[in-house]
Amino acid sequence: MKIISLILVWGVLFLNSATSKDYEYKQYIDDNNIKPLIESLEENTVDIIEFSSFSCSHCAEFHNQTLQELKESSVYKNINFYLIDFPLNQAAFYATIVANCNEGIRPSYVDSVYGNYDVWTKASSGEEIIELLNSYGLQHGLEDEELQSCLKDEDSHNRLLSLQVDAQNIFGVESTPTFLINGEKVQGNRPASEFIKIIKKKLNN
C-alpha cells in the first residue's frame, strides 16, 4: 500500500471539529475515550498529554531520553501520561494507523518506532518505510490480517485525523511535541528537570 493513498480530505474534518474555548482537556480525553500509556495508582496525580508525530526528531528525543529520566524520578509514580498522535507527514500518519490498530500493542509499538527512529526515517524508499513500520507491529503480536483491516478502515483514519484537527482548534497545537500538563501548555522537548519542576508544582496545588 502506498503511503499517499492514506491521505484524506482535511477540510471536512475542520468543519466538524470542536472549537469551544471552554473545552477542557479532561473532556477531550473522555469524549474521545483516550487511554493513558502510563497510568498512576496514586490519589494525587498529574495528567500529561503529549501531542506527538512519529516523524518528529524532538518527539523521539523526548521518548528515548527525557521520558526515561522522568521514569527514574520521584514524580513518575504520580503521572498519567497520554499520547495523542499528531502526524506531520504521510509516514507519521501510516505509523499512527498501525499504532492504533490494537490497543494491547500500542505502548510497545510506540517504544519501537521511537527507539528505531534513526532506522526507519533513513529508509531508502516509501515501501521500505512501510515494511519497517509494519514489522514493529507484527513483532509485538499484531496479526497481518488485523493490520490489513486497519489500513483499509477509513472511519478509523478519519477519527485519528479529527483528533489532530481538534488539538489545533481547541488547544492551539501547531508543532510537536506539544504538552498539556494538567491543561498548561508546554511547547517543545525540555530537560527532564523542567518537566519535574512543573509536575511538582501541579502536585502541590
Whose CA is closest to 87, among 78, 96, 74?
Answer: 96
Q: Tell me what percent of the chain is helix, strand and coil, each rounded to the nearest 5.
A: 55, 10, 35
Mean pLDDT along residues 174-194: 96
Every domain of the chain and the residues it spans: 24-29+45-204
| pTM as predicted | 0.88
Instruction: Give the tens place of pLDDT for each residue, 41-99.
Output: 999 999 999 999 999 999 999 999 999 999 999 999 999 999 999 999 999 999 999 99
Pairing of strands 184-187, 79-85: unpaired
Q: What is the pLDDT of residues 132-180, one digit of tens each?
A: 999 999 999 999 999 999 999 999 999 999 999 999 999 999 999 999 9
The pLDDT value recorded for residue 205 is 84
CATH architecture of 24-29+45-204: 3-Layer(aba) Sandwich (3.40)
Q: How many CB atoms lie within 10 A of CB 64?
A: 14
Q: State the amino acid at position 183 in one-letter form.
A: G
Statement: residue 15 has pLDDT above 70: no
Q: Please choose, from the candidates 99, 66, 93, the residue with its C-alpha nearest in 3D space to the C-alpha of residue 193.
A: 66
The per-residue pLDDT for 46 is: 97
Distance between CA atoms of residues 82 and 68, nearest Å:
15
The residue assigned the cell 509514580 is: 77
- Say which residues have a Cβ less than 8 Å from residue 37's Cβ, sequence separation at least 6: 81, 82, 83, 106, 107, 110
Report which of 77, 93, 74 is spatially closest to residue 85, judged by C-alpha positions. Answer: 93
Q: Residue 115: what pLDDT?
A: 98
175 CA to centre of own chain: 13
Confidence label for 3 from pLDDT (cuts 50, 70 and 90): very low
Residue 23 pLDDT level (bands cut at 50, 70, 90): low
